[in-house]
Structure 1
Amino acid sequence: MAEIKQVLMPDIGDSKDVPVIEIMVKAGDTVKTEQPLLTLETDKATMDVPAPFDGVVKNVSVKVGDKVSEGTLILSIETSATETSAVAISTTPPVSVQETANPPPASSVAVPITPTHLPNNLTSKVHASPSIRHFARELGIDLTQVKGSGVNGRITKNDVQSFVKTVLAQSQSGAGGGGLQISAMPVVDFSKFGAIETKPLSRIKKLSGANLHRNWVSIPHITQHDEADITEMETFRKELGEEYTKQGIKITPLAFLLKAVVTAMQQYPDFNSSLDTSGENLVLKKYFHIGVAVDTPDGLMVPVLRDVDQKGIVQLAKELGEISTKAREKKLTATAMQGGCFTISSLGGIGGTAFTPIINAPEVAILGVSKASIKPVFKESEFVPRLMLPLSLSYDHRVIDGAEAVRFTSYLSKVLSDVRRLVL
């Protein structure tokens, strides 16, 4: 017996009035379980809302530009009782289903809209929705340390906030009760001095701003500046670029930087680590996922390239092109910006000689790259023109000391000056 079910927006944490930026189906379309129905723009990325079961779309209740919240009617799907009852129940937060017929009791459906990524040995120990996991990751919180007050020990947003307050209180009391006191910003009526225009910040800049402020005030930043001679690398890059242009692959210096950074991280493993919540232990990572800052019209986004150590220059160049396009077209998923070990922020295509990039917590270092320029370098008893690339390494001084930072940039410069070392 066929029945019609209404699909409602699920709980998406504190997000309300989230814009619909794309609708993939229309009335009359046949859809399969987990097929994307529409795309929302939330937090720093986009996410798809999938179909909870097979069926035929009867009508779509939203349009591009509409803003949805928990409980908003998305669309109606006609499906058979046999198909509905066959759908497996998931333990992740469900897309809400409002029934307009009388289905059998087994027809409850759960469809995840935001994948979670936790080690297998932790998944069964932590009970939290994807939105709470994302919230905790933004704060650098290990959910295994948080006690849940919800049903069956489920962790709520209040639990995470209470945990943060407790840690901060302990930190301040351990320092003799003195905390960082920041005076309020002055309130100024700028219109008294001339004409003004008020322009709202984009969603991405609002979220990035809060994270950058937190990282800047909570991490003791030090920046080490250096230069790398990339004369031979640039010659090889251009030759490689001509070879792969016909395949639509652009070989950029960033592809070489990714490989060189991983080589340096393998040599100095503290750069591939994070402090645990106690601040007394380092979590050393055995994987190499590198974030790349991408400048978009709406603000900075940092997609992550995974397993960089296992990929060649050409493959990395291809993936860089793909993720940069997705970032600028607002097509990145939330998971595409998670799990980074180290970040590269390259401004070389714009200009500049040096800067101080802000560490992307819970990482412990970030590499800033400025514009390369020809400089006279004393080599073999004479000055010769060499293409020099400015490097700016910001690092967490709680984890990395100055000597180790210098060794890291020196080693990185050596690798970039002779790319044959990338195969060692």
Structure 2
Amino acid sequence: MQITTPDIGVDKATVAEILVKVGDTVAVDDSLVLLESDKASVEVPSTSAGVVKSILVNQGDNVTEGVALIELEAEDGSTAATEIQYADASKKTSENTPTSLPDQEIMQELASHQPHTSNQTSTSASSAVSVVEVQVPDIGVEKALVGEILVSVGDTIDVDQSIVVVESDKATVEVPSSVSGIVESIEVHEGDTVKEGVVLIKVKVAGATQAETAIEAPKTETGQAAVTKSEPVAEAAPAQSGAIEITVPDLGVDKATVAEILVKVGDTVEADQSIIVVESDKATVEVPSSTAGVIKAIHVELGQSVSQGMALVTIEGQVKAAAQAAPAPAAKAEAKPEAAPAAKSAPSVQAPASVAASGSDKLTKEQSAANAKVYAGPAVRKLARELGVVLSQVKASGAHDRLMKEDVFAYVKTRLTTPQAAPVAQAVAQVSGLPKLPDFSAFGGTEEKVMTRLQQVSVPQLSLNNFIPQVTQFDAADITELEAWRGELKGNFKKDGISLTILAFIAKALAHLLKEEPYFAGHLADDQKSVLLRNEIHMGIAVATPDGLTVPVLRNPDQKSIKQIAIELGELSKKAREKKLSPKDLQGANFTITSLGSIGGTAFTPLVNWPQVAILGISPATMQPVWNGEGFDPRLMLPLSLSYDHRVINGADAARFTHKLTKLLADIRTLLL
């Protein structure tokens, strides 16, 4: 049987990619060939199950509607029943009937001869009617607009006939019908926003055609045999389950180390949920599960080296038979035991196409929106969602700057094997790089100790400070009364498991002050001619860990109570020490606090953390004699060190800022005024 080019809405298209090879076994609706025009790409699905016998086109060929693409034969080696019938029918019709008719035309040709071969069966099943929902398939973007509705209620439509035109910012695609029948209702309107799985139309399908196909072609595993009787077949094809091994995918490197195991035996996981974190010298990657199910065994340990193909976990998966996915037309034909595997190997045309839409949680909404504007096919977009790749960063190699799967794999491999230093950081190394170290062998030699990964990735960021004209303003705050009040409160806080430190009060006071002095929480624009003032306060809190210093972010402290701030500070510190901070926990800060705690020292010069313009350093508080006008009083004094970018902040502004902060800390009640 030949699979031909359907009506794709244009005069001609180019074969962009051939998705199968000779000898492959395909099921109904499996994509065979990717076609593209100037504005859209379409995957051509198989209309039958079988084995690819030959490929009749080459990549780059121009094809039109009706051109033969792929030749299939039944999996058992015999010719498909529909092909035999067509050959039989062609003898009874005029010789000018083309052999490369589209599949719907072949079925129409067969239908005209059916009464001669199965008149009795057709009569018995002619009254069986069901209503089928035709849904939006995976169109490669999160959402699209209904540009045009091509059918009306009461129209008779065929399989693969275009019913609706949907459009995104960059392309227009005609959505074909997955069934033939009469349009009973239209569920969308022009201008509606739709996404994968949304019902477009409802089609009244006569059961006779399906019943005839199931009886006339019992050897073709197209899944039609499994839907001749709706209720009995659903019982004959129960959910099938089995143990599935999740292995290490192609990471682009020879080996990697298991950095974290995110699941445990007995956990229930979803498809595309991250289960293992592996890392190479230069990058860290989360390995997703390829199926949903229950974790039965974990085959790796922390620190173990793994390579492609090694088993990670065993999952007891569960796959529902296709017959249960959608209603099937009733018929008098009796379901056979072998109908169940047929239903499994070839999903019903009515099965929803939303299964492939998972995994998008690895991209932000902004990144997904950016991906929607890139010229790529649905398979490439799905791969990008699974790997968390922003397509705008990938170099395209296909015609018309179209992204191919190989482009995505090459991008991932590059990210895994090359240092991920920012372009600005590379410029730092070139412009202000230090000379090579001298040879110390004549002076006792050296012993090399590798820095932690956290220290290594901090080097480029810290080097940016070379370009910031930084000044530090020193001051001291009298926190005698504040510390006394904290001492009264911390007992009750401790009962609730909350550690109340002086840092919670400082964060609250700073958040209040940054609202009055927004330049200290702003950013110098790239053109260095303006300052970007932030609408919200997000405060970085430096935390010392065994691997080095990390800076998680406290969100909106100006909108929270001191108790809420104390709770969140404790949670962030714990996550930092346990290496459980996510990338989101480290992003978006516009001011930073770094504290020496009780370690020691009287003052220091903290480095401004670009792209921020200010950072506050806190040294240990000490009792000092303070003149009251008549004598000296013992007061608890807290040293403050405010470093700032002098391009944005003047010295007088910095002095005024620290003075205001000392007043707030001396009498925290002023926050209420």
User: TM-score higher than 0.5 here?
Assistant: yes
Contact 1:50 / 1:113 at 8 angstroms: preserved in 2? no
Distance change in 2, residues 1:357/1:39 (3 Å) = same
SS of the aligned residue for 1:367 comes to strand
Measured after TM superposition, the shift of residue 71 of structure 1 is 7.7
The equivalent of 1:287 in structure 2 is: 536
Name the aligned partner's letter for residue 207 of structure 1.
V
SS of the aligned residue for 1:198 comes to coil
Q: When the two structures are superposed, what TM-score results if normalisation uses the length of structure 2?
A: 0.49
Measured after TM superposition, the shift of residue 252 of structure 1 is 0.4
- Tell me if 1:257 matches 2:506: yes
Note the aligned Cα RMSD (angstroms): 4.3
The equivalent of 2:264 in structure 1 is: 25
1:208 to 448, 455, 458: 458
- Tell me if 1:384 matches 2:633: yes
Measured after TM superposition, the shift of residue 369 of structure 1 is 0.7
Separation in structure 2 between the aligned mates of residue 112 and residue 69 of structure 1, nearest angstrom: 26
The equivalent of 1:270 in structure 2 is: 519
Separation in structure 1 between the aligned mates of residue 286 and residue 567 of structure 2, nearest angstrom: 24
CA shift digits 1:9-33 (9 cap, x unpaired):
678899973542335223x654345
SS of the aligned residue for 1:356 comes to coil
Task: Give the number of the structure whose alpha-carbon radius of gyration is greater.
Answer: 2
Measured after TM superposition, the shift of residue 344 of structure 1 is 0.5
2:604 to 347, 355, 364: 355
Name the aligned partner's letter for residue 256 of structure 2.
D
- Stretch of structure 1 that moved more, 124-133 or 370-379: 124-133
- Tell me if 1:334 matches 2:583: yes
Measured after TM superposition, the shift of residue 349 of structure 1 is 1.9
CA shift digits 1:341-373 (9 cap, x unpaired):
211100032111111111222222111111111
SS of the aligned residue for 1:309 comes to helix
The equivalent of 1:316 in structure 2 is: 565
Separation in structure 1 between the aligned mates of residue 474 and residue 480 of structure 2, nearest angstrom: 19
- Tell me if 1:184 matches 2:423: no
Distance change in 2, residues 1:59/1:315 (3 Å) = same
Any residues of structure 2 matched to 1:7-406 within 5 Å, and which? 7=246, 17-26=256-265, 30-33=268-271, 37-40=275-278, 51=289, 53-57=291-295, 59-67=297-305, 74-82=312-320, 108=356, 110-111=358-359, 114=362, 116=364, 118=366, 149-150=395-396, 164=423, 181-182=431-432, 184-194=434-444, 196-213=446-463, 215-406=464-655
Separation in structure 2 between the aligned mates of residue 20 and residue 164 of structure 1, nearest angstrom: 27
Measured after TM superposition, the shift of residue 70 of structure 1 is 8.1
Q: When the two structures are superposed, what TM-score results if normalisation uses the length of structure 1?
A: 0.75
Larger RCO: Structure 1 or Structure 2 (Cα < 8 Å, ≥ 6 residues apart)? 1
Separation in structure 1 between the aligned mates of residue 305 and residue 323 of structure 2, nearest angstrom: 31
CA shift digits 1:49-97 (9 cap, x unpaired):
55454213465443221245788764354433449999xxxxxxxxxxx
Structure 2: gaps (5+ residues): 1-239, 325-343, 375-380
Query: Percent identity over the alignment?
Result: 41
SS of the aligned residue for 2:512 comes to helix
Name the aligned partner's letter for residue 37 of structure 1.
I
Distance change in 2, residues 1:121/1:276 (3 Å) = farther
Distance change in 2, residues 1:244/1:291 (3 Å) = same
Distance change in 2, residues 1:112/1:277 (3 Å) = farther
Distance change in 2, residues 1:327/1:84 (3 Å) = farther
Structure 1: gaps (5+ residues): 87-100, 134-142, 173-178
Measured after TM superposition, the shift of residue 162 of structure 1 is 13
Measured after TM superposition, the shift of residue 277 of structure 1 is 3.4
CA shift digits 1:169-197 (9 cap, x unpaired):
xxx9xxxxxx9843633423334323643
Contact 1:272 / 1:285 at 8 angstroms: preserved in 2? yes
Contact 2:258 / 2:276 at 8 angstroms: preserved in 1? no
Contact 1:115 / 1:335 at 8 angstroms: preserved in 2? no
Distance change in 2, residues 1:12/1:389 (3 Å) = farther
Separation in structure 2 between the aligned mates of residue 111 and residue 63 of structure 1, nearest angstrom: 25
- Stretch of structure 1 that moved more, 14-23 or 371-380: 14-23
Contact 1:228 / 1:413 at 8 angstroms: preserved in 2? yes
Separation in structure 2 between the aligned mates of residue 85 and residue 409 of structure 1, nearest angstrom: 71
Contact 1:229 / 1:416 at 8 angstroms: preserved in 2? yes
Separation in structure 2 between the aligned mates of residue 374 and residue 47 of structure 1, nearest angstrom: 50
The equivalent of 1:137 in structure 2 is: none
- Stretch of structure 1 that moved more, 107-116 or 234-243: 107-116
Distance change in 2, residues 1:243/1:80 (3 Å) = closer
CA shift digits 1:288-336 (9 cap, x unpaired):
1111111111100111111111111112112111211221121222211
Distance change in 2, residues 1:282/1:53 (3 Å) = farther
Contact 1:45 / 1:334 at 8 angstroms: preserved in 2? no
Name the aligned partner's letter for residue 369 of structure 1.
I
Contact 2:241 / 2:319 at 8 angstroms: preserved in 1? yes
Separation in structure 1 between the aligned mates of residue 542 and residue 321 of structure 2, nearest angstrom: 44
Measured after TM superposition, the shift of residue 279 of structure 1 is 3.3
Distance change in 2, residues 1:83/1:377 (3 Å) = farther
- Stretch of structure 1 that moved more, 388-397 or 115-124: 115-124
Measured after TM superposition, the shift of residue 210 of structure 1 is 2.2
Separation in structure 2 between the aligned mates of residue 189 and residue 325 of structure 1, nearest angstrom: 42
Name the aligned partner's letter for residue 638 of structure 2.
L
Contact 1:43 / 1:207 at 8 angstroms: preserved in 2? no
Separation in structure 1 between the aligned mates of residue 307 and residue 527 of structure 2, nearest angstrom: 36
CA shift digits 1:134-189 (9 cap, x unpaired):
xxxxxxxxx9xx88744668997999x99958x97xxx9xxxxxx98436334233
